[in-house]
Structure 1
């Protein structure tokens, strides 16, 4: 059974207005069912979250026109197409500050700008907040967009999925990630908030919030 905002691997993109001023196009790329999200503002700005794989499809959905690419974290399945898409579009490149070196050397890209908690990125005249989430990787970030209707949208990479936080390498990293999620996500945004993760279907904070004690107890 398909979940919220489901897209099939290699299938047609899902186009969803997030507000009158911003539209999201979601597609699954590559062998690990990575989600790539194109955000397009009403005034023509374009931002891509995770140039994960399949350069031809990403260039087709973006019409080879991008202002910005944000990579949510350093794991290679999230940047396989980054160099090629960046070269084709001339987009500005951003990621979490602690992951800059790993992504720059892994993906062979230059001029990668680090972002962290309290920073913002823009899509045309629309603003997204950056949230640092340490644990899945040292420099994992989420992007938060709050539409005119008051409903927030979070692009969480691999830090939050339906069912819990993303994979961590040990208890200390898990505790760090869950602490950051509770502080920077669950304490800040209400239950209507939609979570757009790095793989698979979307969820809401309302669906996930009751399970926070369970996640803490299980330790993963």
Structure 2
């Protein structure tokens, strides 16, 4: 099975099989949000990045990953409603732990009625079975926006794997062609571009795979040549 990084609303799941994890991507809802299911291949623990919409479809995705309605954690990348419309329904069925960036947590709870069990800050880690994901705060799209970074092991065997390669789930903070919307606010724009530059581009290699909150995937190498142009254009 070839992973493409491109999905359509109502279309099939895109599945990437790596040594330690499987990554499933679907597009849901009227704003074509990308939701990602990360499954630990050893322990079958599962983490959902953004319970964005269409809860029945997301629950089917969970069952596809583990063969049961087992979901250990939901990470909401930021507080905007299109990224948590299905949160209450998904958590009601699965009992998953709810996590979100500290600065966005209260608004997510107010909008969904779902308590955030754990607030996330830059440098925290989230476990999926025996797999570790690093939390990277990317402030600007919202104050509490977070990304998750997974690194492949140094010894790999699956065909689609690269030793030590990073995979980053960026929510609405980084897309092909630029950073997320900062509402025309120069301070927010500068903060987000600075965080994206110093916390992703300066720390991670060009083969780092980027899984955004909408649209197709990209890599840091594909986007790196345009950082100066993004700053010059101001959005």
**TM-score normalised by the shorter chain: which range applies?**
over 0.9
The answer to whether residue 30 in structure 2 is matched with residue 31 in structure 1 is yes
Aligned equivalent of 1:198: 213
Q: 1:121 Cα shift?
A: 0.3
Aligned equivalent of 1:73: 78
Q: 1:112 Cα shift?
A: 3.2
Instruction: Provide the rounded CA distance (Å) in 1 between the counterparts of 2:117 and 2:198.
Output: 27
Give the unaligned 5+ runs of structure 1: none
Please give the TM-score of this superposition, normalised by the length of structure 2.
Answer: 0.91
The SS at the match of 1:51 is coil
The answer to whether residue 202 in structure 2 is matched with residue 187 in structure 1 is yes
Instruction: Provide the rounded CA distance (Å) in 1 between the counterparts of 2:74 and 2:7.
Output: 21
Q: 1:111 Cα shift?
A: 4.0
Aligned pair count reads: 217
Q: 1:107 Cα shift?
A: 1.1
**For the aligned residues, what is the CA RMSD?**
1.1
Extract structure 1 runs of 4+ deviating beyond 2 A: none
CA pair 203-111 structure 1, distance change in 2 beyond 3 A: closer
Give the unaligned 5+ runs of structure 2: 64-68, 154-162
The SS at the match of 2:195 is helix
Aligned equivalent of 2:93: 88
Q: What does 1:93-112 correspond to in 2, within 5 Å?
A: 93-112=98-117
Instruction: Provide the rounded CA distance (Å) in 2 between the counterparts of 1:197 and 1:90.
Output: 26
Aligned equivalent of 2:40: 41
Please give the TM-score of this superposition, normalised by the length of structure 1.
Answer: 0.97
Aligned equivalent of 1:14: 14
Aligned equivalent of 2:227: 212
Q: 1:10 Cα shift?
A: 1.2
Does the CA-based 8 Å contact 2:100-2:116 persist in structure 1?
no
